[in-house]
Amino acid sequence: MIKNLGRKKLSKTGSHRKAMYMNMTNSLIMSEKIKTTLPKAKELRGFVERIITDAKKGRKMEVRKIIKDRPAYEKLFDILAPRYKDRQGGYTRVIRIGFRKGDDAEIAMIKLVD
């Protein structure tokens, strides 16, 4: 019996989760830092790092399946991939900010390291 396959569902359907990761990835690539809840930031970290690694290796079709936004796609290959060419991994950092006022959810900032 398979209990857990390693990813959190975040109380969302698979298609909603995929769309959320794609949108958050585009925002993170374009602005290089975003604020979100801590569980979403932790799950997004692996998603973004895999995409940056694919961009470093020149896998344009794999990246294009995830990044639909043309400016984000171009920034990924023109700016971010050369920036991280000598780095083995760990392209993102999750920083805890505090708690949201409305529902007391823990907020974190995920940003690309320099």
| Angstrom distance (rounded) from CA 61 to CA 50 | 14
Residue 50: the pLDDT is 95
Q: Which fold has domain 14-112?
A: 50s Ribosomal Protein L17; Chain: A, (3.90.1030)
Beta partners for residue 33, in sequence order? 111
Render pLDDT for 33-58 as a digit per residue (tens, 0 to 9). 999 999 999 999 999 999 999 999 99
Tell me which residue of 25, 10, 111 sits closest to 65, measured CA to CA: 25
pLDDT confidence band for 5 (50 / 70 / 90) = confident
% of residues, the chain, pLDDT over 70: 100
Q: Where along the chain do its domains lie? A: 14-112
| Angstrom distance (rounded) from CA 14 to CA 95 | 26
